[in-house]
Amino acid sequence: MSLLFLILASQESPLNISFYSVYIYKGEMPVKRTPKVHKFHEGSSDDQLPVVSMFIDKGGTGAYGRIDIELFVNRVPKACDIFLQGCAFAATGDKRNVKRGSCKSYRFVRLTNEGLQVGERSGSRGASLVEFDSEIGRVNHGIGVVSLCRSVSSFDESFFFCITDNRSELDSLDKRHVAFGRVIEGLNELLSLRDALLSYVQEGCLIGDNPYTISELVLKSCK
């Protein structure tokens, strides 16, 4: 790259001189690329979106923490619907539109490089990939994002994972999975839980004496 100074004199007054500097590039000008960042931050939620609270207990010591997940029903309605069906939420009579769900199908089963997998394949209702094709990639994966697990041919209502690491592999998740929510409160608890579960991992799977469980699921509908 070279620097060229131009001196221009005004037509009205030869003494009125302006200095201009011009950069001359040799070869092609480099293209500035902005890297894709997969990172979400805990923050205030949208009052128009429903929130699921996941209460976590540690065996023998009681409550461990709570994780609030905002559901993107406005962007990926099919994925949110299959997740809510898996939770089997039932009305509580609460005037604040609060419902309680079933935790029978949900337990922490795997801890991978990307995140924490929750639930087991129920086999009761699998949704074909074709049904969700239009929702794949609508929401990017990143720390704190919740996404549906999948098999070769279908998604399962009782199997999802929470992203706990910000790795380059997340690009491939955007092409294969449907992210349907994000943690808006309790992200520190989620990351702390990931660290606590490391000692219970064998070949990626969480072994049976893992004391951490989901004790309650609560859905608060949008206002």
The 10s digit of each residue's pLDDT in 132-187 is: 889 999 999 999 999 998 877 777 655 889 999 877 678 889 998 999 999 999 99
pLDDT band at 197 (very low <50, low <70, confident <90, very high): very high
Rounded-to-integer distance, Cα 120 and Cα 105, Å: 6
Residue 29's pLDDT is what? 42
Please state the rounded mean pLDDT for residues 203-216.
Answer: 87
Q: What angle do CA 155, 219, 138 make, to 5 degrees?
A: 40
Tens digits of residue pLDDT in 26-81? 444 434 433 343 444 444 556 689 999 999 999 878 789 999 999 999 999 999 98
- Residue whose C-alpha is closest to residue 179's, from 206, 196, 161, 153: 161
Residue 163's pLDDT is what? 93
Tens digits of residue pLDDT in 84-116? 887 877 766 555 677 887 666 578 888 888 889
> SS3 of 197, please?
helix
Rounded-to-integer distance, Cα 223 and Cα 50, Å: 8
Residue 106's Cα: distance from chain center in Å? 18
- The pTM assigned to this predicted structure is 0.73
Residue 33's pLDDT is what? 37
Domains and CATH numbers, the chain: 51-220 (2.40.100.10)
Residue 30's pLDDT is what? 38
Q: Is the predicted pLDDT of residue 3 greater than 90, yes or no?
A: no
Residue 98's pLDDT is what? 79
Torsion of CA 170, 113, 126, 74, to 10 degrees: -40
The DSSP secondary-structure symbol of 36 reads P
